[in-house]
Structure 1
Amino acid sequence: MTTTVTENPGKALFPNGGWDTHHHIFEPALFPYSPQRHLTPPAATVEQFVDFKRKLGLNGSVLTHGMSYGDDCTSLKAFVPLLGSETTRAIGIIDPQTTSDADLIAMHKAGIRGIRINLYRYKAMEDVELQKKAIIDHAARVAKLSLGWNLTMTTIHTEFWSELAPFVEATMAKSGIQLITDHFGLLKAASMLPSQYHEDPSRQPGFAHVMKLVRDGHLWVKLSAPYRVSERPDYADVKFLVRAFFDANKYRLVWGSDWPHTPRMRVRLPEEALTETPFLEVDDLAWLKSLRSWLSDEEWDLLMVENPKALFN
């Protein structure tokens, strides 16, 4: 979780404010983790995130429910007012079969504006058909109450997008719900790709399908956690992905820190999942400065201010 920042760089980086649309809070001493969790993170408290946000110069955030808490959003509803209800929105996790209408309405009143699909629960991390089922179940549940919520789903198998893309287009159009994918859709920069894709990373599996969804307005993408898509310590090769997304559709992109920087997504054996795993060390300020240098003033303002306000109103 170590983060290198200097005091108040935000005057230069965020003259119009800035939103972190993907971060977590973990306080297991107050809210125990689910016994069925896929990862055991150390504590990352409200106070620590508030300090992180202040030092970077951010003024808004979207708290994303950690999957280590399962579908119990008690902690999420408690954290939002502590972070500041006026400047914080949240993304929860539900069980589409058992979460009641009353629960969803209470979540909305608590500042929750979207649902994260937990593919671990569906045992769907390696199964594209089960991923489709998870989308259908959650879209139907969220659409029922017309709360204006969005859905977030991220697959570790980018090759699945060839099947997911037409399905997502049809399902989201029917439901009227916005779909988001985290961490660049887990499309990879050159340093994390096999050698045959180094010269042209756009040839990697899933790239064309994700870009078409973004271009056509059917998918939002969080430009978050570059360490999940690049092996370079400076993330310089991520520029290719950033520019590809902006050239596809600058109105469907938001930024997230992924604080406190949990490891890459994968299926873990039960013993490993229950063992505390340390956070990654990330220089968030250096990453933000690189990202800013690749964008125009208009693109930066859309990414950091206007797009998140539109998505998480």
Structure 2
Amino acid sequence: MTVISKPHTSLELFPHGGWDVHHHIFEPAKFAYAPDRHLTPPPATVQQFLEFKKNIGITNSVLTHGLSYGSDCTSLKSFVDELGKTDTKAIGVIDPDTVTPEELREMQSKGVRGIRVNLYKYQAMHDVELQKKALREHARAIGKHCPGWSMAFTHVHPEFWADLIPVIEHEIVPSGVCLVTDHFALLRTASMLSSECEGDVTRQTGFREIMELVRAGHLYVKLSAPYRVSHEAPYYADLKPLVRALFNANRHQILWGSDWPHTPHMKVRSREEALCETPCLIIDDLEWLKSLRSWLTAEEWHAMMVSNPQRLYGW
């Protein structure tokens, strides 16, 4: 069993506040899910998140539009109003082929400060060329009208990063869009690594490319959903080498998100699977936060929890 050196209360964890930059709200009774969704999560209401937020000690959050709602952000804007615009920003989903400048300005007025790319819509989860297409089209749609907005995406193939770097460096970065990837860029820890890596996180495919992008300031990485890259719940001790590598590369590019209510692992589901309600995971977020805090200096923690999200999301 992993031993945590010192327990932390919520006040000790967040003496200057804490920003959760990746959580969802699902209220299908009020807002119906998209018929072509890839996942049917159970309800996770505004009130339930507010209780979670209070229990953990979070002061600010970035509501991330659930892909189960497709590109219709009506629910997102309503949820932000309920959560309170003064301490909540949002990440939306758009259809880059049809979104108008007026719609983007209206999203901005509602607290939206970025978008996420729905790779399922592009059937791009396992196709790097389609991923390039999706990134280009989304960056083109927002770059001219929403300078400084972020663009987040998650994919399950770290080996794609080598092919994505030229697009990121020569097209996405010059567009003024801030690129973000979720869930540790899905780099794996020792408990999930294949045998050829011999437990060394630095030897896995994609590690070098991701660190190069972070070091150059071209990519933000969310330390979110540790259960997607480690089997060692609740402390996730084998994440320490990966966390330290990211901070050593560039502490100004690291963010923290809960991924509440902890939807299951990403995968391409059949039509029948997608339409059946899939339960969320049960995660001890406070124990994970205590573990993460023990690996960082006070300056690193403040950067991740306060100053980086303030800068990126324009508080």
TM-score bin, normalised by smaller chain? over 0.9
Distance in 1 (alpha carbons) for counterparts of 2:187 and 2:110: 33
1:270 maps to 271
- 1:250-284 per-residue CA deviation (whole Å, 9 max, x = no partner) reads 00001000000001111111100100000001000
Distance in 2 (alpha carbons) for counterparts of 1:167 and 1:286: 38
* C-alpha displacement of 1:167: 1.9
**Helix, strand or coil for the counterpart of 2:188?**
coil
2:146 maps to 146
4+ residue segments displaced more than 4 Å: none
TM-score, scaled to structure 2: 0.95
Pairing of 1:218-233 with structure 2 (within 5 A) = 218-233=218-233
1:199 maps to 199
* C-alpha displacement of 1:148: 2.5
Distance in 2 (alpha carbons) for counterparts of 1:292 and 1:12: 10
Pairing of 1:2-151 with structure 2 (within 5 A) = 9-151=9-151
* C-alpha displacement of 1:166: 2.4
Distance in 2 (alpha carbons) for counterparts of 1:146 and 1:278: 36
Structure 2 residue 210 is the aligned partner of structure 1 residue 210: yes
Asked whether the 8 Å contact 1:25–1:45 carries over to 2, the reply is yes
Distance in 2 (alpha carbons) for counterparts of 1:136 and 1:27: 31
Distance in 2 (alpha carbons) for counterparts of 1:242 and 1:147: 29
Distance in 1 (alpha carbons) for counterparts of 2:71 and 2:199: 42
Distance in 2 (alpha carbons) for counterparts of 1:199 and 1:261: 26
1:308 maps to 309
- 1:166-202 per-residue CA deviation (whole Å, 9 max, x = no partner) reads 2211112320211000000001111111112133221
- 1:71-99 per-residue CA deviation (whole Å, 9 max, x = no partner) reads 00000000001111000000000000111
- 1:5-57 per-residue CA deviation (whole Å, 9 max, x = no partner) reads xxx93211100100000000000000000000000000000000001001111
Distance in 1 (alpha carbons) for counterparts of 2:36 and 2:93: 14
Pairing of 1:266-305 with structure 2 (within 5 A) = 266-305=267-306
Asked whether the 8 Å contact 2:104–2:146 carries over to 1, the reply is no
Asked whether the 8 Å contact 1:108–1:147 carries over to 2, the reply is no
Asked whether the 8 Å contact 1:17–1:305 carries over to 2, the reply is yes
**Helix, strand or coil for the counterpart of 2:115?**
strand
Aligned amino acid, residue 107 of structure 1: M
Asked whether the 8 Å contact 2:182–2:224 carries over to 1, the reply is yes
Aligned amino acid, residue 87 of structure 2: T
Distance in 1 (alpha carbons) for counterparts of 2:9 and 2:57: 6
- 1:182-224 per-residue CA deviation (whole Å, 9 max, x = no partner) reads 0000011111111121332211111100010000110000000
Structure 2 residue 161 is the aligned partner of structure 1 residue 161: yes
- 1:285-311 per-residue CA deviation (whole Å, 9 max, x = no partner) reads 000000000000000000000000000
**Helix, strand or coil for the counterpart of 1:222?**
strand
* C-alpha displacement of 1:147: 4.1
Distance in 2 (alpha carbons) for counterparts of 1:295 and 1:98: 43
Distance in 2 (alpha carbons) for counterparts of 1:243 and 1:166: 26
1:4 maps to none
**Helix, strand or coil for the counterpart of 2:211?**
helix
Aligned amino acid, residue 281 of structure 2: L
Aligned amino acid, residue 287 of structure 1: W
Identical amino acids, percent of aligned pairs: 59
Asked whether the 8 Å contact 2:189–2:199 carries over to 1, the reply is no
Structure 2 residue 265 is the aligned partner of structure 1 residue 257: no
Asked whether the 8 Å contact 1:191–1:198 carries over to 2, the reply is no
5+ long unaligned stretches in structure 1: 1-7
1:3 maps to none
Asked whether the 8 Å contact 2:147–2:177 carries over to 1, the reply is no
Greater shift in the superposed pair: 17-26 or 199-208: 199-208
Aligned amino acid, residue 161 of structure 1: W
Asked whether the 8 Å contact 1:189–1:230 carries over to 2, the reply is yes
Asked whether the 8 Å contact 1:224–1:257 carries over to 2, the reply is yes
Asked whether the 8 Å contact 1:9–1:55 carries over to 2, the reply is no
5+ long unaligned stretches in structure 2: 1-7
